């Protein structure tokens, strides 16, 4: 009798015992209860919820279409359903999820793909079989799920997928092979660099980089030069990634093209080119990087790169850059000087160095010599810098700071106003 009561209590507290009740609420309950039921079904992860979740998703999607796709509540419900379906788990869920995978598309298929990826290794073989499915979007989602799982059993099938009739599937396969980082894929990816589909070529190139194959260098350089792809891609994701990849590969062959990229019209290209040159550490980049120290926004990246290269020719220019209007340029220049062993010469240079390093206590010790840089700092974009500069001016007590501090009192936020007022009070006390 006691055992029977215990078992009954256990069943009552077992979340899986609530599945049928939650499914009923999902189908027939009031709106907010249905949203909550979807979330609870996802948390439980029982495969019995798959069909009800799919049916409800279809209904919600149809209702969204009827209202032109704009309804916050329906979107919220759809997101809950999508999340719930993607969290169904356990080996028993594989077969029904595969069925959903093959017979749907869009949100439902993506959620099923995510669920299979979370199930992991037990789902690998069924997913591999889907690589031969007649519909390309099924094959694409299968590759996506296999990428998320990362099981080596998928390697050979993915090599075959590089020759899929559909370009979408081929580029996803190339991307996935790169993430697997198996050097045996290199020759296949080299061949894919000649693919008629631009996205396949791009992902094959990046996959070779991920694998660490030096044969990626030449196509990456061509990418930086804008020769490998149409203008549509030149300033986009792959262009930026190619620059970063060449830096990480320490590709000496890329130095000249990267120097040219410092003058690109796009800001992200210039900053990444400076970073890449810093990674490669070739002395040929020193003079071009010096020229870009005063330019926005790549100046701070140029300073960092000069510190990484470690060439003494940069010391004088980095010392000058300590006076730059840009806080990131000042900071990176100071750090680069530290790496190069460059020491500030006179007290004026020391003040600018300390200011760049934000060593406020040390600045105060230099007294009147530090006043002008600190007054300039009251206009800095960084509120913390303004606050600290006001504090330092108050500690020094020089009357030249009174006017600028009064102007600072008119600024918000409150911590800056307070810092400026306190500084003015200290200057007034020292005057008296």
How much is the average pLDDT of 121-149? 96
Q: What is the pLDDT of residue 27?
A: 94
How much is the average pLDDT of 302-321? 97
Any domain includes 406: yes
For residues 341 and 372, state if they share a domain.
no
Query: What pLDDT digit, counting tens, does each position of 12-67 carry?
Result: 556 668 999 999 999 999 999 999 999 999 999 999 999 999 999 999 999 999 98
Sorted by sequence, the CB contacts under 8 Å of residue 304 that are 6+ apart come out as: 274, 275, 278, 332, 335, 336
For residues 370 and 351, state if they share a domain.
no
For residues 394 and 430, state if they share a domain.
yes
Give me the chain's average pLDDT, please: 92
Nearest to 301 by CA among 267, 325, 253: 267
Any domain includes 97: no
Residue finishing a domain among 308, 337, 357: 357
CATH of the domain at 317: 1.25.10.10
Q: Which residue has the tokens 């599937």?
A: 169
pLDDT at 325 over 60: yes
CA distance 329 to 347: 20
Q: What is the extent of the structural domain holding 374? A: 365-432
Any domain includes 225: no
Nearest to 416 by CA among 393, 394, 392, 384: 384
Any domain includes 322: yes
CA distance 275 to 247: 7
- DSSP 3-state of 322: coil
Residue finishing a domain among 357, 384, 406: 357
Any domain includes 133: no
Q: What is the pLDDT of residue 234?
A: 44
Sorted by sequence, the CB contacts under 8 Å of residue 280 that are 6+ apart come out as: 246, 247, 250, 251, 252, 254, 255, 258
Give burial (CB, 10 Å; 0-12/13-18/19+) of 131. buried
Sorted by sequence, the CB contacts under 8 Å of residue 218 that are 6+ apart come out as: 253
Any domain includes 37: no
Any domain includes 140: no
CA distance 333 to 67: 57
Q: What is the pLDDT of residue 229?
A: 62
How much is the average pLDDT of 263-288? 96
CB 77 within 8 A of CB 41: no
CA distance 283 to 338: 18
Residue finishing a domain among 311, 328, 357: 357
pLDDT at 90 over 70: yes
Band of pLDDT at residue 240, cut at 50, 70 and 90: confident
Q: Which tokens is 361 given?
A: 């206590």
Domain count, the chain: 2
Q: Which tokens is 404 given?
A: 């600028």
Any domain includes 389: yes
Band of pLDDT at residue 343, cut at 50, 70 and 90: confident
Q: pTM of this prediction?
A: 0.74
Q: How many Cα atoms sit within 13 Å of 157 on the Cβ side?
A: 22
């Amino acid at each position: 009798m006691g055992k029977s009561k215990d078992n009954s209590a256990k069943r009552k507290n077992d979340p899986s015992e609530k599945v049928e009740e939650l499914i009923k609420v999902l189908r027939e309950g009031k709106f907010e209860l249905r949203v909550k039921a979807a979330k609870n079904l996802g948390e439980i992860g029982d495969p019995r919820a798959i069909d009800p979740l799919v049916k409800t998703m279809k209904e919600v999607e149809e209702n969204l279409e009827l209202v032109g796709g704009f309804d916050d509540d329906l979107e919220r419900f759809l997101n809950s359903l999508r999340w719930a379906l993607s969290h169904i788990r356990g080996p028993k869920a594989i077969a029904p999820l595969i069925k959903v995978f093959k017979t749907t598309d869009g949100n439902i298929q993506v959620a099923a793909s995510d669920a299979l990826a979370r199930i992991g290794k037990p789902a690998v073989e069924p997913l591999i079989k889907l690589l031969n499915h007649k519909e390309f979007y099924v094959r694409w989602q299968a590759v996506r799920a296999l990428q998320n799982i990362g099981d080596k059993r998928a390697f050979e099938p993915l090599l075959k997928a590089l020759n899929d009739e559909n370009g979408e599937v081929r580029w996803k396969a190339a991307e996935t092979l790169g993430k697997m980082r198996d050097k045996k894929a290199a020759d296949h990816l080299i061949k894919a660099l000649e693919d008629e589909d631009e996205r396949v070529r791009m992902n094959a190139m990046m996959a070779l980089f991920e694998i660490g194959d030096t044969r990626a260098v030449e196509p990456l350089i061509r990418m930086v030069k804008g020769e490998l792809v149409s203008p549509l891609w030149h300033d986009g994701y792959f262009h930026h990634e190619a620059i970063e990849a060449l830096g990480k590969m320490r590709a000496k062959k890329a130095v000249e093209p990267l120097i040219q990229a410092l003058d690109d019209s796009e800001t992200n290209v210039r900053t990444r080119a400076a970073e890449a040159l810093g990674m490669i550490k070739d002395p040929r980049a020193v003079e071009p990087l010096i020229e870009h120290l005063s330019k926005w926004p790549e100046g701070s990246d140029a300073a960092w790169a000069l510190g990484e290269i470690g060439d003494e020719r940069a010391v004088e220019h980095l010392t000058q850059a300590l006076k730059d209007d840009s806080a990131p340029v000042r900071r990176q220049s100071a750090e680069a000087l530290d790496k190069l062993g460059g020491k500030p010469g006179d007290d004026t240079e020391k003040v600018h160095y300390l200011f760049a390093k934000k060593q406020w206590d040390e600045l105060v010790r230099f007294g009147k010599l530090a006043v002008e840089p600190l007054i300039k700092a009251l206009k800095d974009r960084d509120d913390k810098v303004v606050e600290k500069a006001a504090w330092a001016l108050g500690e020094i007590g020089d009357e030249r700071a009174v006017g600028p501090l009064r102007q600072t009192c008119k600024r918000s936020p409150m911590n800056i106003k307070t810092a400026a007022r306190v500084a003015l009070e200290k200057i007034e006390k020292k005057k008296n």
